[in-house]
Amino acid sequence: MPQQEEERILQANNRRFNSLFEYPDNSIKTSKYSFFNFLPVNLFEQFQRLANAYFLILLFLQLIPQISSLAWYTTVIPLIVVLSITGVKDAIDDVVKWLPGLPSLHLKRHQSDQQVNNRSVLILVNGRIEENKWRNVQVGDIIKLENDHPVTADVLLLSSSEPYGLTYIETADLDGETNLKVKQAVSATSDMEDNLELLSAFNGEVRCEPPNNKLDRFSGTLSYLGDTYFLDYERLLLRGCIIRNTDWCYGLVVYTGPDTKLMQNSGRSTFKRTHIDHLMNVLVLWIFMLLGGMCFLLSIGHGIWESNRGYHFQAFLPWERYITSSAASSALAFWSYFIVLNTMVPISLYVSVEIIRLGNSYYINWDRKMFYAPKNTPAQARTTTLNEELGQVEYVFSDKTGTLTENVMIFNKCSINGKTYGYSYDENGQCVPKSPSNKVDFSYNHLADPKFSFYDKTLVEAVKSEDPLVYLFFLCLSLCHTVMSEEKVEGELVYQAQSPDEGALVTASRNFGFVFHSRTPETITVIEMGRVRVYRLLAILDFSNERKRMSVIVQTPEDRVMLFCKGADTIIYELLHPSCAALSDVTMDQLDDFASEGLRTLMVAYRELDKAFFQTWIKKHGEAWLTLENREKKLALVYEEIERDLVLLGATAIEDKLQSGVPETIVTLNKAKIKIWVLTGDKQETAVNIAYSCRIFKDEMDAVFMVEGTDRETVLEELRTARKKMKPESLLESDPINIYLARKSKMPFKAVDEVPNGSYGLVISGCSLAYALESNTEFELLRTACMCKGVVCCRMTPLQKAQVVDLVKRYKKVVTLAIGDGANDIGMIKAAHIGVGISGQEGMQATLSSDFSFCQFRYLQRLLLVHGRWSYNRMCKFLSYFFYKNFAFTLVHFWYAFFNGFSAQTVYDIWFITFYNLIYTSLPILGLSLFEKDVNETWSLCYPELYEPGQHNLYFNKKEFIKCLLHGIYSSFVLFFVPMGTVFNSERSDGKDISDFQSFSLLVQTTLIWVMTMQIALSTTYWTMINHAFTWGSLGLYFCILFLLCSDGLCLMFPSVFNFLGVARNGLNQPQMWLCLVLSSVLCLIPLMGYNFLKPILWPINVDKVLNRIHFCLKHPLPPPVQIKVKHPGLRRSAYAFSHKQGFGALITSGKTLKSRAFTRR
């Protein structure tokens, strides 16, 4: 296949022709390594790390005897340990794959791939249907798909069991939506149905676009029998969809395996590195520069010493033959010191970071409070490299459907003739909270949906009393819709709704005794309180985005012509008869109450039509329908003629069921100064409604700006108008931020935070966003959006979602998090620093491309405020201590150089150098990094302000690194000169001299270990038994190993390797040794203790103030704030047909949605 496919060409039932293009087969591979390539590929990746490459070069230098001042095993042992641990971790990450929905089952990626590739599929071969495996499907094959089965590849729909080649599909894995969608076969092939002879003879040629990741677009042509047919997205079934309510269908395979749109969106994720990773790389470069400078300085010192003093020692220490001058000796000394001071760049740093991240990842996996019992699914850290980044998030980009909501609509309340129904009452008529005991009993209705719940028994009583307005209200709900009904088992109705809103309303009317039973193109059958009534369907006035309503005109069995209408309240209000003025005012107040509860509202009205008027109108309707020019406009005018003087029946209030805890989670995240942006493909109305329901938008906001421009100039003007209202001075050239921006010629630069004069929200549609994301307007969008408390972007494509995330990343330079559940969210999940997948009842595709996954949005606050914050704090403490202990350890050599003629002699025993980072100091800092908690999880959640330091990276940055360096320099100075003063010209109590090198080395390294232990003890605020064991156990382990290495047995057996014979026994029994240890420890610890004491007093940060407030609030609880209800009629949200698709009414009346048996059932 060409490297870049410009056009895909294929022919049905012709594998020989299609093989010429070398299209891939239908197998998939998600694993990174294989058995044969793991070792070379993994080593290549590991040595791309600067530190690992540095130590490999260092190993080769140590093999050169002329410059080697340390034994080769001091580098080989740590390097092998580091590479092995990292390699095992990488292998586990690649091999183990979490299967959503099966928490107890971990399958190898290879086994998972095999499981998918070996699924069975029915392929048409030589006129017969044969069972084969998914992996063997090829481009151009015709396959048979059956009900409730997943689609094998991206296929062109040829025919189905439904009339006109219609096929119902569920796309939860692609876009997170569970409501059914309809696809229609190509007209030229739909008549083939399941005739294998015709399908086998089909040799159509398809020319279409090359493989891409655009889930909502497809274009191509089909050439067949001399005719050419245009192909679009409505003809394509995508891999990952599930066939629903369709017995069978046939499709022509267009894209296979890695070329399918699902796999194109699920491609290998780019390697994400945290901000601390980038900072560590910069700091390692700084250390390299410092190391090089020190080596250069010491080599110069060596040259000067050799020239001035060294010749005195040549009688008994002659130069080697390869040294010809002091300059040559100085050059060799440079590399010798490069080896001696190599621990300035700690090899165990990276492996320690990996272990810490791995441990903190397991805390997420083990968190029972993030375990979703209904699905038996825990939270899952799918990567182990981003834990501390979770503690630095400033922007969260969230999908809506399946992420914030459950995509389940519930008929919650209603208003009929001015009376509100839906509240729960006790025997005394007092309103009480809803409970199972107050649930309405629908047992009197054998066709009721058992899953439907309602708690106001007065509505049932009104229905049973045959109140005429209540009767008309539910009759309207049972007739005015586009729902399809299917009765697979007698008495069990299954509704296929184009939108979940429609399904909720029809289900409600069904439970209250008005059961929509079936439809034909001419009739609608309703069972009203047990009586079967057939209404003649005269017309459907279809929904459109502009009309925001739909109507049906029916003829009743009593020969009355009735128009029933439902739609957005603001629209219906204008169409009402003047006699309804008083009732409409009452109803509008009730709608305000519904909207304030976050419910989605619509109005219901009717009109009885004069037959003569209707006959005249239906002729106009027919003429407009047949018009080719401006048909939509003419139809709208005809609709307006009849949709007037309506009589108000009431209103409905539907709860777009949010996931549990979503509003509380968003309020908590906002308190942590985390901004929430909703990026959704849904319509503006539903997106805004959800934003209010989950408290991203609030009624108390000063304004919510709507950007709806259809050209660049209009969009730019709307954005500037919004910014002018939020911060008028931001449009002036004299504004400090504008002056700052004028100086920044390079793009992109860091955008400065701007503070608005109030609380605002922003809503922008995908059409407007296309212009706003252009290079010359994107910064205007960013400035305006970032001043808002909440942002909603609707009607977005997957690409636009990723572009918005990338926009914030490029200009704000902050940590971003994207959370979603469908394949259309994969772009933004990969674009964000952190991607979170929702693995609930909706789509699961995003989970496979995510860094973290769980079932409920509310778990996000624990992920960030608890696990993220702890991980960030632990990592910062680890890095500060780690750099400090290595500076203090290594820089002792620098001071010693001035006393040994700059000869690159080491202060410590070779084995101490080898074990210092691997054994002696590794466990205490790992214990702190895995178990440290400055506050418990309750405080972390109750006071989200504690999250702020991570957002500004206050705990570890370049400034903190300089502090570590200075602290390390000071400590190394104390650790060298105090022991030096102790042993200089010192004698034992028996008069023997102790000022020898080995005694001095023992004293320095013992003091160093003691000081490091005290430092880690002072840094620990949360002690566990493991911390005690690691901290004090490591100190004890040092002395055990010390006595072992200085033992007579080892030193006598291997005198060239272990040459500190008896030093520990003779040195540690001297009182001046212990006095030196105490004095050094005090001198090293006093600065740290003084700084920690004075810092919160002299330079307090918000966290210090919050901790003080916590203690105060625990002693003096504050009364809860009083919420003042503010009504904004303009903010009332309509619930009507948010997921509807224009033209569905015409599809119903055409009869295409019905099977042939539907016409002959009665």
Q: Which residues are catalytic?
A: 399
Residue 248 DSSP code: E
Give the whole-angstrom CA distance, residue 865 versus residue 670: 12
The angle that helices 611-626 and 631-642 make with each other, rounded to 10 degrees, is 170
Q: How is 99-143 classified by DSSP, letter by letter? A: -TT-TT-EEEHHHHHHHHHT-EEEEEETTEEEEEEGGG--TT-EE
Strand, coil or helix: what is 919? helix
Element (H, E) at 183: strand 181-184
Contacts of 419 (CB under 8 A, 6+ apart): none
> Which region, left, alpha or beta, applies to residue 1062 given φ > 0 means left and ψ of -120 to 50 means alpha?
left
- Residue 449: both structure tokens together: 């949906």
Q: What are residue 933's phi and psi, to 5 degrees?
A: -145, 115
Can you name the residues that pair with 122 across neighbouring β-strands? 131, 144
In 3-state terms, the chain is what percent helix, strand and coil (to 5)?
Answer: 50, 20, 35
Beta-bridge mates of residue 705: 762
Q: For the chain, how many residues are written?
A: 1162
CA separation for the pair 939, 1103 (Å, rounded): 12
In a 3-state reduction of DSSP, which class is residue 996?
coil
Q: Which of 227, 236, 147 is nearest to 185 (CA)?
A: 236
Is the Cβ–Cβ distance between 704 and 762 less than 8 Å? Answer: yes
Taking the C-alpha atoms of residue 281 and residue 279, their distance in angstroms, rounded to an integer, is: 5
- Tokens 């090293």 belong to 1084
Q: Where are the alpha helices (DSSP H) in 367-512?
A: 457-464, 468-479, 500-511
The one-letter amino acid code at 884 reads Y
Number of H helices and E strands in the chain, helices first, is 41, 37
Strands 219-224 and 128-133: unpaired
Other CB atoms within 10 A of residue 823 CB:
30
Q: What gap in Å lies between CA 595 and CA 608, rounded to an integer?
A: 30
Calpha distance 1030→1147 (Å, rounded): 72
Rounded Cα distance, 996 and 986, in Å: 10
Rounded to 5°, angle at Cα 562 from 560 and 568? 170
- Going by the DSSP 8-state scheme, the letter that residue 319 receives in this structure is P
Strand duo 523-528 + 514-519: pairing: antiparallel
Q: Do you find a cis peptide bond into 210, omega within 30 degrees of 0? A: no
903 DSSP assignment: -
Assess contact for 478 and 526: CB atoms under 8 A. Answer: yes
CB 291 within 8 A of CB 338: yes
Angle subtended at Cα 217 by Cα 214 and Cα 218, rounded to the nearest 5 degrees: 110
Contact 660, 425 (CB under 8 A): no
Spatial neighbors of 87 by CB under 8 A, at least 6 apart, are 42, 43, 46
Among the listed residues 520, 397, 419, the one whose alpha carbon sits nearest the alpha carbon of residue 470: 419
Q: Where are the beta strands (DSSP E) in 692-789?
A: 703-707, 760-765
φ, ψ of residue 653 in degrees (nearest 5): -130, 110
